[in-house]
Structure 1
Amino acid sequence: MAAIRSKNTKPELLIRRGLHARGFRFRLHDKVLPGTPDIILRRYSALIDVRGCFFHGHDCDRFRLPRTRREFWDEKISSNRERDIKITSEQLELGWRVAIVWECALRGPKKINLETVIDSLTQWLSSDEKIFEIRGLYQCSPP
């Protein structure tokens, strides 16, 4: 697991490039904020977190609990899910708006066109919605 990246993953880089090309400027991985969010847009009081489907236990076809060491993985992924909920609520309590982009929206056979994902994030940034989520299979939660 030491080889698994937590920063600068391919899905995260896709989102960053798309937002930057649209003129958005942002900070990365601020350790002062709960959960060290991937992208911080202070002007919009917004945080964007790009999550991997496996380690965060997303309910999509990219997540499958391993057959070996099942107890370990079940406990690990359950604690990751609980931590995600706690961190998101802490971020909202601090006045931040939170967007979650799942890996399945950017990779695999059920991915969404990158321009559509960036369009959705752009619309959300200009809205007043507190929380926003983008999943694979065109399952965007509209702002």
Structure 2
Amino acid sequence: MPNQIRFEVLTFETTPEVVPHVDSRPLTELIDAYEVGAKMDVAGDAYAGLVPAHFDFGPMEEHYLGAGMGPRVPLLGCTCGEWGCWPLMATVTAVGDTVTWDEFEQPHRTDRDYTGFGPFTFSRTDYDEALAVLMIDLADWA
């Protein structure tokens, strides 16, 4: 059974912040729990959503399909609002009727092992619908 996806738009200072939710749980909580459980240094509450105003990700619906930056994209950034400060990267693969997030990494800690985290596989129809809602939510900020 595929995972469920939703993109929540929160407020970072005075601009939108995008937090993916997998199976009704924020990705920030999922990765924090994984890192704390794996006893990783600098684990827990280190991640936040992406702040599109702080970096030109291009159209967010393309970013979350692995376009623009390549298949490995940041899904989360740092609590300071800059994605490059402390990103959670993943490979996003959209093939046929599925979208998969896997090969997670924290590029500032290359010795970390994320093989037990994910993969998350979504129905392409549900994923596209979640992206359409995200784009409407982001347009409300304009």
Higher helix fraction (1 or 2): 1
Could you state the TM-score of these two structures normalised by the residue count of structure 2? 0.30
Pick the structure with greater CA Rg: 1
Could you state the TM-score of these two structures normalised by the residue count of structure 1? 0.30
Higher strand fraction (1 or 2): 2
